Structure 1
Amino acid sequence: MNINELIFKLDDSYSEDDFYYITSFLNALNTAGKSKNTIYSYFRDLKVFFDFKNNNELLKKIPINNLKPININIYYSYLVSEKGNSTISINRKKYVLKLFFEYLIEMEVLTKSPIPKESIIKSKSKVKAKLPTYLEIDEIQKINNSIMDYYKDKFAKSRDFFIINLFLHTGLRISELISLDIGDMEKTKKTDFLSIIGKGNKERIVPINIEELAKELHDNDNLIEKYLEYRYAMDTDDDALFVSHKGKRLSARYIQIALKKIISYSNIGKDITPHKLRHTFATHFLKNGANLRLVQEVLGHSSISTTQIYTHSNKQDLMDAMKKNNIKY
């Protein structure tokens, strides 16, 4: 991760100390093995705080090691009243700021964190947990049909069909999918296991049989095999599994844009991203009988509490379960 590229985003309102503290914090995250996306996300949230501090007449005069809880509360109020941030966004910014100040304590810059304690008088209003958006089976079929119907380019059709269904049947993160090499798929076809290097550089194994997947998808045009044939025939030095017409590894942005077009063609009325395809995999995996620990392992979650967001049910699921499993006389 090139920390300097992020630091260049800071303007002249930042003091030398601020530059040093932020750079040091980002380097610590990098050393700890945090992903590029995580480091950028933390930097972005931290920048919101420092931009506010440096533009506030009261706070800009206060050195970082003299900040008090009341000063931080002014920032929290700003996030609500002026920025209009959601509760989820505010909680994330609070977490990053807390982590930053804890790091400064560890560095002996601070003796005590200025993060305010939660009020002893708890608010009655609770944040309603947002359930993950996922695709129903008929919506997945519409997406696959839209690829069949709207794509004229045979190479792009076979590649994007493969990409979408690999997301849906493995739960890969977009960063994991674009990092796959052609050699990974060769091993998978021999072993029926896909080896993934996920967050924190941890390896995990995801079972998948490519031939069985094609049958399950009723891939009568053999789009997955055709893509692999196209890929093997390409004259390119890039080892990537998924490439452009020019033989270059696809970027995350490229896949996000392609998926957006596919969703608009399919007319399913949902805002679907690659991460929501991951939600879809996890939700159906659980619905079809997998236990939470298995889902955690396949998704590469370090904590099972992260996996638990997929245990949502709809009213019909509850009704069916009650009829089937309730006390019988």
Structure 2
Amino acid sequence: MNELITQFIHYLTVERGLAKNTLESYQRDLHAYCAYLERENFTNLNETNRMQIMGYLLHLQEQGRATATLSRNLASIRAFYQFLLREKFIDKDPSVNLESPKIEKKLPQVLSVAEVETLLNGPDTRLPSGLRDKAMLELLYATGIRVSELVSLNLSDVNLNMGFIKCFGKGSKERIIPLGRLAIADVSRYLERGRPMLKKRGQEEALFLNHHGRRLSRQGFWKIIKKYAQLANSHKEITPHTLRHSFATHLLENGADLRSVQEMLGHADISTTQIYTHVTRSRLKEVYAKAHPRA
């Protein structure tokens, strides 16, 4: 089974060009599924049927896993079986006609413009690390890019004269996103006064560096945003994705069209972007309730 998983991941890497995090998710889900089958004495995938898949999903549910986790695991298992059938490793696909658990779409946490201002003003720009943190936070809010895309940026991906960045999203798809004047100013200050102080010996193409002079990691950025969330005394849970959600919501609230926001966020399907229209509607209700004398 492990060898088949390895072949499947190789196929996803070469043929589909999926992102590293997505590949790791598939691998983790499938190793857990196959370990379950082996405990149930199923060592041949050709002998499995829909009852084993349903049993595994029930097993996950009993462990208290969220509906979204169950749905993701089923998607991984279904894609695996489809690959095995296509490559003639199995005779039939037992995942056919299995319905995914219904996921309740939660509205993302969004900051107000004032809350964003407070968060972005947290870094001490007298320090090289403060200049870096300010530039990263401004860039996230200015572009709505994912944290993985932020820390993957190289110096060559930023064009401050033209006012845009180039990033590679899911499936290694390239997109160009415009930068606002404040983000341009803060990234410029970081490049002039912050990055040279963080850079150690040797060449480093990464835009954002840690205190060792190497590329900042996702985990490193998570610690940074948590630090400034505490400084902001926000009653909301602020994660690295919060600024992405706020970017999209504030654009739509101020008249941006859904297709443009979809392109900037790098969503393959516009239905993913449409959740932000629900956010703006709910915020309109809040404003109405507070402002209308007879609400």
**Would you say same fold, with TM above 0.5?**
yes
* 2:270 counterpart of 1:312: no
* 2:4 counterpart of 1:21: yes
What is the CA–CA distance in structure 1 between the aligned matches of 2:267 and 2:288, rounded to whole Å?
28
What is the CA–CA distance in structure 2 between the aligned matches of 1:127 and 1:240, rounded to whole Å?
38
Match among 160, 177, 192 for residue 163 of structure 2: 192
Deviations 1:153-189 (A, max 9, x none): 611111101101100110111222112222333xx22
Q: 1:247 to 1:61 in 2, by over 3 A?
A: closer
Q: Which runs of 5+ in 2 are unaligned?
A: 290-295
Letter in 2 for 1:70: M
Residue 183 of structure 1 is matched in structure 2 by: 156
Deviations 1:99-127 (A, max 9, x none): 111111111112221126358xxx9xx64
Letter in 1 for 2:162: T
Q: Write out aligned runs for 1:123-272 (5 A).
A: 127-148=103-124, 154-185=127-158, 188-209=159-180, 212-213=181-182, 224-230=187-193, 231-232=195-196, 234=199, 236=201, 237-272=203-238
Residue 57 of structure 2 is matched in structure 1 by: 76
Deviations 1:27-66 (A, max 9, x none): 011112001000001111112212222223xxx2452101
What is the CA–CA distance in structure 2 between the aligned matches of 1:175 and 1:134, rounded to whole Å?
20
| 1:132 and 1:279 in contact (8 A); partners too | yes
What is the CA–CA distance in structure 2 between the aligned matches of 1:246 and 1:315, rounded to whole Å?
44
User: Which structure would you say has the larger Rg?
Assistant: 1
Deviations 1:172-221 (A, max 9, x none): 11222112222333xx2211122222222222111114xx2169xxxxxx
Deviations 1:72-97 (A, max 9, x none): 2211211112x111111111111111
Match among 63, 75, 85 for residue 105 of structure 1: 85
Q: 1:225 to 1:189 in 2, by over 3 A?
A: closer
Task: Give the TM-score normalised by structure 2.
Answer: 0.87
Residue 263 of structure 2 is matched in structure 1 by: 297
Task: Give the TM-score normalised by structure 1.
Answer: 0.78
SS of residue paired to 2:122: helix
Letter in 2 for 1:109: F
What is the CA–CA distance in structure 2 between the aligned matches of 1:224 and 1:63, rounded to whole Å?
55
SS of residue paired to 1:195: strand
| 1:259 and 1:273 in contact (8 A); partners too | yes
Q: 1:172 to 1:287 in 2, by over 3 A?
A: same
What is the CA–CA distance in structure 2 between the aligned matches of 1:229 and 1:283, rounded to whole Å?
32
* 2:70 counterpart of 1:90: yes
Runs of 4+ in 1 over 6 A off after TM superposition: 319-322
* 2:15 counterpart of 1:35: no
SS of residue paired to 1:147: coil
| 1:73 and 1:116 in contact (8 A); partners too | no
RMSD over aligned CA atoms reads: 2.5
SS of residue paired to 1:274: coil
| 2:12 and 2:23 in contact (8 A); partners too | yes
| 2:166 and 2:177 in contact (8 A); partners too | yes
Q: How many residues are treated as equivalent by the alignment?
A: 283
Q: Which runs of 5+ in 1 are unaligned?
A: 1-17, 216-221, 323-329
Residue 34 of structure 2 is matched in structure 1 by: 50
What is the CA–CA distance in structure 2 between the aligned matches of 1:224 and 1:20, rounded to whole Å?
46
SS of residue paired to 1:206: strand
| 1:72 and 1:116 in contact (8 A); partners too | no
Q: 1:200 to 1:265 in 2, by over 3 A?
A: same
Percent identity for Structure 1 against Structure 2: 36
What is the CA–CA distance in structure 1 between the aligned matches of 2:284 and 2:128, rounded to whole Å?
40
| 2:200 and 2:212 in contact (8 A); partners too | no
Task: Please report how far the alpha carbon of residue 288 of structure 1 lies from its aligned counterpart in structure 2 after TM superposition.
Answer: 1.2
